[in-house]
Amino acid sequence: MSEEQFTNISLAVCLTGLVVFIGFIIWDLGKKSGAGKFGTAVLFLVLGLGVGGFIFKNVLVEFFILK
């Protein structure tokens, strides 16, 4: 396995783990603050958009670099 392959695999695995962990943090924040169902949904929407934007940016960069 080359260094490039290892880097690509570990980046995908670690970023996936980070996104899942951020989801857990948002859920825990909603639970501990007593936000209820609607408040937790708003937390996921607002804070999740930041994560979604980061992922979307990386996808766009990959498409523009490959073409």
**59 pLDDT higher than 80:** yes
pLDDT tens for 1-52 read 889 899 989 988 998 898 899 899 999 999 999 988 999 999 999 988 888 8
pLDDT at res. 42: 92
Confidence of residue 63 (pLDDT cuts 50, 70, 90): confident
For the chain, what is the largest distance between any 2 Cα atoms, rounded to a whole number of angstroms? 48
Which range marks the domain in which residue 54 is found?
Answer: 3-66
Q: Residue 30: exposed, middle, or buried by beta-carbon count in 10 A (0-12, 13-18, 19+)?
A: buried
Is pTM beyond 0.85 here?
no
pLDDT at 61: 86
Rounded to an integer, what distance in angstroms lies between the CA atom of residue 14 and that of residue 46?
Answer: 23
CA distance 46 to 42: 6
Number of domains in the chain: 1
